[in-house]
Amino acid sequence: MSQVAEAGAGISARGMQPLTIVGAGAWGTALAVLLARQEQEVRLWGRDGDAIDEMARVRRNQRYLPGVELPLSLRPMADLRTAIEDAADVLVVVPSDAFAQSVAAIAAIRPQLSSLAWASKGFEPGTGRFLDDVVTDHFGHDCARALLSGPTFAAEVARGLPAAVTLAGTDSVFTQQLAQRFSGSSFRVYTSSDLLGVQVAGGVKNVLAIAAGIADGLGFGANTRAALITRGLAELTRLGLRLGGRAETFSGLAALGDLVLTCSDDQSRNRRFGLALAGGASVDDAVFQIGQVVEGLRNTREVMRLAAHNAVEMPIAEQVFRVLFEQCPPRDAVHALLARELKAESE
């Protein structure tokens, strides 16, 4: 039986008690807007005090979501203590390399926090650890933990376009309460208890999106993209199962859904990064062109570290690594994939 269940309509959210989102980038702002439109009190904290002051004044996030008005129940805040000290729920939405620092800052203010959620995708830089491990470092295993993940672009969620996501957590009550809080007429939340599997999917899919961008940038066409997505899902699933994730997770929104989205649409920063590399840009120049965090670049090393440690073959991710860190020309990387030994599709 599937472990993924739709959040029940009978589960009550935490009323109008404030929820704090830590991280005022595009995704954090979009989620804050989503909640505020449902007349919930939302606090949005960002580390750039000047940007937060501007958001409060003009009621827009001019850098990340310039065309989206911030509802009045959304309160931008520059002081973290004020933002979280009496919040009912805290959701961390920062890049993976800023996650540990953000969680440590929260723990310094509320060391006995009983629950924490995040919408960050990736692994801890330098170690390859899951972000869940970072949370338990500070709050222990008794802290209820949950990850919101799935096929979403911030701009579309902020515009109120329909979307569906997975919320994976360690505590069913907390997960259901949070799912009910986020669910609305245009945002559907499904719950899961496979937090590990959802974390693997969110970290690996960005690496595969770089590969998709490279292939499309080289003009290899729709056939190649379809093959890359399918075989990419196979290696993502191999790693996820080896690490303890559940098979059904990898055919769901957080894996297959998010992989298709980020590999096929140019709103994806990772895909655009791959397109730039295929066009001849250096890694540094491609990052500059994107102008925002490219999580796949940051997580490729960690994905390959996990694959090597667990003896999992990940040929697409391996070729992305060669392009990013071994100066392999993108076209050579694609041909290396095509030249691999023939084998059964199930392998």
Structural domains in the chain, CATH included, are: 16-193 (3.40.50.720), 201-338 (1.10.1040.10)
Distance in angstroms (rounded) separating the CA atoms of residues 19 and 218: 45
Query: pLDDT value at position 176?
Result: 97
Query: pLDDT value at position 16?
Result: 57
Query: pLDDT value at position 14?
Result: 43
Q: Which of 37, 145, 205, 225 is catalytic?
A: 205
Which residues, other chains included, contact 20 with Cβ-Cβ below 8 Å and sequence gap of 6+? 42, 43, 44, 45, 83, 84, 87, 89, 90, 91
Query: pLDDT value at position 114?
Result: 97
* Residue with the two structure tokens 């196979």: 234
Query: pLDDT value at position 1?
Result: 32
pLDDT digits (tens, 9 = 90+) for 93-110: 999 999 999 999 999 999
**Strand, coil or helix: 115:** strand
Mean pLDDT computed over every residue of the chain: 93
Q: Which residues of 122-140 are buried (b: 16+ CB within 10 A; e: fewer)?
A: bbbbeebebbbebbbebbe
Residue 221: count other Cβ atoms within 10 Å of its Cβ.
10
Query: pLDDT value at position 7?
Result: 39
Query: pLDDT value at position 298?
Result: 86
The angle subtended at Cα 59 by Cα 58 and Cα 65, nearest 5°, is 105
pLDDT digits (tens, 9 = 90+) for 263-281: 999 999 999 999 999 999 9
Residue 243: count other Cβ atoms within 10 Å of its Cβ.
16
Residue 6 has pLDDT above 60, yes or no: no
Helix (H) or strand (E) holding 191: strand 187-192
| H-helix segments, the chain | 26-37, 49-58, 80-84, 96-109, 131-139, 154-158, 172-182, 195-217, 221-243, 258-264, 269-278, 283-290, 295-309, 315-325, 330-338
The angle subtended at Cα 162 by Cα 156 and Cα 163, nearest 5°, is 80
pLDDT digits (tens, 9 = 90+) for 284-318: 999 999 998 999 998 999 999 999 999 999 999 99
Residue 4 has pLDDT above 80, yes or no: no
Q: 205 an active-site residue?
A: yes
* Residue with the two structure tokens 């996030």: 61
Q: How confident is the model at residue 188 (pLDDT cuts 50, 70, 90)?
A: very high
Amino acid identity at 252 = G
Residues 205/207/212/213 CA torsion (nearest 10 deg) = 120
Residue 5 has pLDDT above 50, yes or no: no
Tell me the average pLDDT across 3-28. 66
pLDDT digits (tens, 9 = 90+) for 37-66: 999 999 999 999 999 999 999 999 999 999
Query: pLDDT value at position 15?
Result: 52
**Strand, coil or helix: 46:** coil
Percent of the residues in the chain that have a pLDDT greater than 90, as a whole number: 90
Which residues, other chains included, contact 87 with Cβ-Cβ below 8 Å and sequence gap of 6+? 17, 18, 19, 20, 43
Residue 140 has pLDDT above 70, yes or no: yes
Burial of 71 from C-beta contacts in 10 A (0-12 / 13-18 / 19+) = middle
pLDDT digits (tens, 9 = 90+) for 325-337: 999 999 999 889 9
Measured CA distances, 253 to 138, 183, 265 (Å): 29, 15, 16
